Amino acid sequence: MLLQSLSEACGLSGNEAEVRNLILKEVQGLVDEHRIDSLGNLITLKRCSSTGAARPRRVMIAAHMDEVGLMVTHIEKSGHLRFSKVGGLDDRTLLSKVVLVGNDRVPGVIGAKPIHLLKEKERHQVVETDQMYIDIGTSSKEETERAVKRGDYVAFATRFSRLEGGLVKGKAFDDRAGCAALIELLRGRGSYPSDLYGVFTVQEEIGLRGARVAAYAVEPDYAFAFEGTVCDDLPKKKDLSPTTILGGGAAITLADRSFFADKRLVKLLVETAEKNGVPYQFKQPMVGATDAGRIHLAREGVPSVAVAVPCRYIHSPVNILSLSDFENLVRLMSLALVALPTLWPSP
């Protein structure tokens, strides 16, 4: 399954080539043009069915290829690796995880002190990244340096698998779920009523960097960001927002820390969903940031919205999503792209 190979591919921010090659193989036959820009974004174009317009409307859909992870910063005399984080990770999720170091995928373990040796105080403390190390099995610096080097990226070794209830687990669903949805959309139809720029971006997790230059180049009239997003739907003591609910349908962002969604596009998505009976939900506003945060500020401004697949435990070594949400996102967007011309001629 496409989501599986995307999830198991390694592509941390700044090192997206493996993921990009995989995507390129999938989409080559589906698009009219493609290119890789100077930052590494994969920009594809699926031309619209001929409308006779001098300049067909351009819709950009962005999904980011990069994932959060670690980077080797230092090799100890003992051969152990010190590391720092690439993107937002919670230290508490790192201990005792199996990782893959470098492009050769050298396996390693983030070691944890056994409970027998923990002092009372340590049991209540969070071990911070600068006290952790990766053990790749070597016993000297020289031996380690034959296998890995400083600056190597470190990805989690999580395998993809199916769970009960139509759920799946794996790593990097943020945003390989978005990448997979975008590929499905490109597969879905021979063409859409507008020129569709499917853009697979780089470096989202470290500051939405790829989307900025891609949107400048594409100059879209409208933009959508596809995401794997925060889901916090397990029972709570207080009656607070679950952010999104697994199985609740495609999650539409109204506003997050990086942008306010364009109200016309939100209305289009909601009306399309309701007319066609596609489950949808609104994501808790002001949580997180997406590529839309950069795209909407490109040039003279681009009406934008983000739509996402809810994912439990994102930005950790293992995430869970519901395939029904994934399918609903693809279905909703496929219908919305066809309905989009109703918004014209504005803007």
Partner 1 sequence: MKELIARLVEAYGPSGNEEQVRALIQDEIKAHVDEARVDALGNLVALLKSDPDGQGKPPTRVMVAAHMDEIGIIVTHIDEKGFLRFAPIGGLTPLTLLGNRAVFANGVMGTFGMEKREILPTEKPKLDRMFLDIGTPDKESALKLVSVGDAAAFSRGFAQAGNRLLAKAMDDRIGCAILIQVVKTLKKNPNDIYFVFTVQEEVGCRGAVTSTYGVQPDLAIAVDATDTGDTPESRPMNVTLGKGPAIKVKDAGMLAHPAVRRLLVEAAKGLGIPYQLEVLEGGPTDAMVMQTSREGVPSGVVSIPCRYVHSPSEMVDYDDVTNAVKLLTKVLEDRVAI
Q: Does 240 bind partner 1 (CB under 8 A)?
A: yes
The count of C-alpha atoms lying within 13 angstroms of the C-alpha of 167, restricted to the half-sphere facing its C-beta, is 16
Using CB under 8 A, pick the residue from 210, 303, 310, 317 that binds partner 1. Answer: 303
Q: How far is the CB of 281 from partner 1 (least distance, A)?
A: 9
Strand 98-101 relative to strand 153-156: parallel, antiparallel, unpaired? antiparallel
What string marks each residue from 247 to 286 as x (binds partner 1 by CB under 8 A) or -? -------xx---xx-x-------------------x-xxx
Task: Report DSSP state, residue 43.
Answer: E
* Beta carbon of residue 243, minimum distance to partner 1 (angstroms, whole number): 9
Asked if 343 interacts with partner 1 (CB under 8 A), we say no
Point out the catalytic residue in the list 26, 67, 204, 327: 204
CA atoms within 13 A on the CB side of 266: 12
46 close to 236: Cβ distance less than 8 angstroms: no
| 227 vs 327, beta carbon nearer partner 1 | 227
For the chain, the C-alpha Rg in angstroms (whole number) is 21
The count of residues interacting with partner 1 (CB under 8 A) is 21
Catalytic residue list contains 204: yes
Q: Which is nearer to partner 1, 187 or 236 (CB)?
A: 236
Q: What is d(CA 346, CA 119) in angstroms, rounded to the nearest whole number?
A: 65
State residue 171 phi and psi, 5-degree precision.
-105, 165
- 280 phi and psi, to 5 degrees? -145, 165
Q: Is 207 in the site for partner 1 (CB under 8 A)?
A: no
Q: Which stretch binds partner 1 (CB under 8 A): 85-93, 115-123, 140-148, 235-243?
A: 235-243
Q: Rounded to an integer, what distance in angstroms lies between the CA atom of residue 179 and that of residue 173?
A: 9
Tell me the catalytic residues.
Answer: 204
Binding site for partner 1 (CB under 8 A): 239-241, 254-255, 259-260, 262, 282, 284-287, 296-297, 299-303, 347
